[in-house]
Amino acid sequence: MSAAPPVISIRGLSHSYGEGEQRRQILRAVDLTVAPGEVVVIGGPSGSGKTTLLTLCGALRSVQEGEVSVAGRGLNGLSADQQRELRGSIGFVFQSHNLIDALTAGQNVVMSLLGRFPPAQAESMAEAALESLGLLSRVDAFPEELSGGERQRVAVARALVRSPELILADEPTASLDNASAAAVIESIKEAARRTSCAVLLVTHDPRVLPIADRSLQLDGGKLFEHAGRINLRSVG
């Protein structure tokens, strides 16, 4: 394990939805550390809290109980503005690619750089990101002209183009055939290797497991090692 400070550090994270009798605890004292360049895959049945955990890490949801820090910044008690700012340093890849239909692949990636870089520079950064995912020839294609796998790779390019310290991916291969799923997960793995960004990927798709440096399972609100069902706290 690298000596560099972790990109994600979670201690005792619990989360519930609902009030009173409706209250349901989804996460129970979860601990997790993810190092720079590490690809961690978290599986678990539908409804086990994978998306909840990911959205907490991504400052898309406020921490109720426990400590979470991402890229050296504590997430507890952040204002909405501070959460938004933190999200700017994270690359998100969701189950559905969320590309804007009216924009080309290149323009979709450029969108992620708006206001941060001059337009000409943003365009060349977007082209470089698409090229690194083998999509340079598709830069002027609109989402409807792309295959499902190509669309999802454009979404990965959009997440990567800002050189985030962390990529958070939620079921990125869910609706893809085997070849497309392989291309998407290979592109995520390659990005982690090339840029040393950390990746936390939640999925119930076993096709993703080969890229994991570490694979964990969320079940009953707790995180287990994938095979052994050992609480992470007992293995450090």
The residues binding ligand ADP (CB under 6 A) are 17, 26, 44, 46-52
Neighbours of 109 (CB within 10 A): 31
Q: 135 touches which of ligand ADP, Mg ion, none (CB within 5 to 8 A by kind)?
A: none
Cβ at position 96, least distance to ligand ADP in Å: 14
Nearer to ligand ADP, 41 or 109 (CB): 41
Nearer to Mg ion, 47 or 236 (CB): 47
Nearer to ligand ADP, 22 or 79 (CB): 22
Q: 212 Cβ partners below 8 Å, 6+ apart?
A: 39, 40, 41, 201
Residue nearest to Mg ion (CB): 51
The owner of tokens 């793995």 is 189
Rounded CA separation 148/21 (Å): 42
Amino acid at 187: S
Q: Is 217 helix (H, G, I), strand (E, B) or coil?
A: strand
CA 179 to chain centre: 21
Nearer to ligand ADP, 44 or 143 (CB): 44
Cβ at position 70, least distance to ligand ADP in Å: 18
Amino acid at 182: A
Rounded CA separation 129/163 (Å): 10
Cβ at position 109, least distance to ligand ADP in Å: 27
Cβ at position 175, least distance to ligand ADP in Å: 15
Q: 48 touches which of Mg ion, ligand ADP, none (CB within 5 to 8 A by kind)?
A: ligand ADP
